[in-house]
């Protein structure tokens, strides 16, 4: 029996068990989840171009992504910048700008000291003089070839770009480290809510979803806007029913690390899935999953091909495992591969 067949046989057993449980006690919040899963371009088409650039987002749309995901940080003057972290060192050429050498400092993020150049120490005008760089050059040399070519962009500019498209594309901003800004007397929630209100995008059916790793941050912004909100949950291990019940009362989506659904063994391989997708769906929650990357370095050991960490493994099989479980959306650095696996 193939790996996929074995895993899906386990999934079928769990699905059947979940269906029986649902018949016994289906909550009122439950809704249908039989739609086609959406493809979320993780930081744009970040497997091909430096992440969080307008060019990476545009390529993602060209490759068929349904959703593009800008991570958001705050600038010194309160603008929402599309960057994965407040620290700029890994994804920009800031270190090559001697005029900013004195901005390097150490700050606490999530209680841990981090040394580098922080976006909130720069005005947007200053940040516009920087250029994006590939975060994983050893694994993605083709993307690194674009280093120095693309400027940094704001979420407002991303929304301007989306407005020019001839099809609906959802943006899925993630508020990065809200507590970090709160400690500085800044509010990333208010900055995002203000922008959405100004653009009349603060409604339930607006093509904007909001996400964060901080639950309280989502509750805070939910007091100001009506957009769908989703909690990002890292790691692996079971999520208790009582916790899911609370999320179902307050959230629209749980956005899970892949290991929450297909746990990895000590050797890095995956085996049978958990029942988290069924239990979340039973409570009316959508399930999004992250992050799908083609390189062996990121794949389970039993889906890798060869020993080169930068070579592509059997990502199609990985997509199929999750699609067959009925997840609602997947985050991928390679949106074209996610679309191809879904539509084949």
pLDDT above 80 for 115: yes
> 18-48 pLDDT, tens per residue?
433 333 333 334 455 557 999 999 999 999 9
- Is 3.20.20.190 the CATH number for 3-84+151-343? yes
By three-state DSSP, how is residue 236 classified? coil
Torsion of CA 280, 281, 286, 290, to 10 degrees: 60
Measuring CA to CA, how many Å separate 139 from each of 134, 150, 297, 309?
Answer: 10, 20, 8, 7
Of 297, 290, 265, whose CA–CA distance to 69 is shortest?
A: 290
Q: What's the mean pLDDT in 76-93? A: 98
> 117-151 pLDDT, tens per residue?
999 999 999 999 999 999 999 999 999 999 999 99
Rounded-to-integer distance, Cα 195 and Cα 175, Å = 13
> 299-316 pLDDT, tens per residue?
999 999 999 999 999 999
pLDDT at residue number 271: 84
Residue 321, Cβ neighbours under 10 Å: how many? 22
Judge whether 200 and 165 are in contact, CB under 8 Å.
no
> 202-248 pLDDT, tens per residue?
999 999 999 999 999 999 999 999 999 999 999 999 999 999 999 99
Judge whether 153 and 65 are in contact, CB under 8 Å.
no
Residue 265, Cβ neighbours under 10 Å: how many? 11
∠ CA 98-90-72, nearest 5°, is 105
pLDDT above 90 for 179: yes
């Amino acid at each position: 029996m193939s790996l996929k067949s074995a895993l899906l046989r386990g999934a079928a057993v769990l699905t059947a068990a979940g269906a029986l449980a649902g018949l016994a006690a289906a909550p009122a919040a439950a809704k249908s989840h039989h739609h086609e899963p959406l493809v979320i371009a993780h930081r744009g088409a970040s497997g091909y171009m430096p992440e969080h650039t307008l060019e990476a987002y545009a390529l993602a749309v060209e490759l068929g992504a349904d959703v593009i995901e800008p991570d958001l940080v705050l600038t010194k003057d309160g603008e929402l910048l599309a960057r994965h972290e407040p620290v700029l060192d890994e994804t920009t050429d800031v270190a090559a700008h001697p005029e900013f050498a004195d901005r390097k400092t150490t700050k606490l993020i999530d209680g841990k000291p981090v040394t580098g150049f922080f976006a909130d120490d720069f005005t947007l005008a200053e940040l516009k003089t920087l250029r994006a760089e590939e975060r994983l050059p050893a694994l993605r040399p083709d993307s690194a070839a674009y280093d120095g070519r693309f400027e940094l962009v704001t979420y407002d500019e991303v929304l301007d770009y989306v407005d020019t498209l001839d099809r609906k594309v959802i943006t899925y901003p993630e508020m990065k480290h809200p507590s970090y800004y709160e400690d500085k007397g800044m509010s990333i929630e208010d900055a995002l809510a203000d922008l959405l209100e100004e653009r009349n995008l603060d409604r339930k059916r607006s093509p904007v979803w909001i996400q964060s790793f901080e639950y309280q941050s989502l509750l805070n912004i939910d007091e100001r806007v009506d957009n769908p909100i989703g909690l990002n949950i890292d790691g692996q291990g079971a999520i208790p029913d009582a916790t899911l019940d609370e999320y179902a009362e307050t959230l629209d989506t749980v956005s899970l690390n892949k290991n929450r659904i297909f746990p990895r063994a000590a050797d890095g391989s995956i085996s049978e899935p958990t029942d988290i997708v069924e239990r979340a769906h039973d409570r009316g929650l959508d399930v999004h999953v992250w992050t799908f990357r083609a390189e062996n370095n990121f794949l389970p050991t039993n889906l890798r091909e060869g020993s080169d960490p930068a070579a592509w493994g059997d990502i199609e099989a990985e997509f199929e495992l999750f699609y067959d479980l009925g997840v609602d959306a997947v985050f991928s650095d390679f949106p074209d591969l996610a679309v191809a696996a879904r539509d084949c």
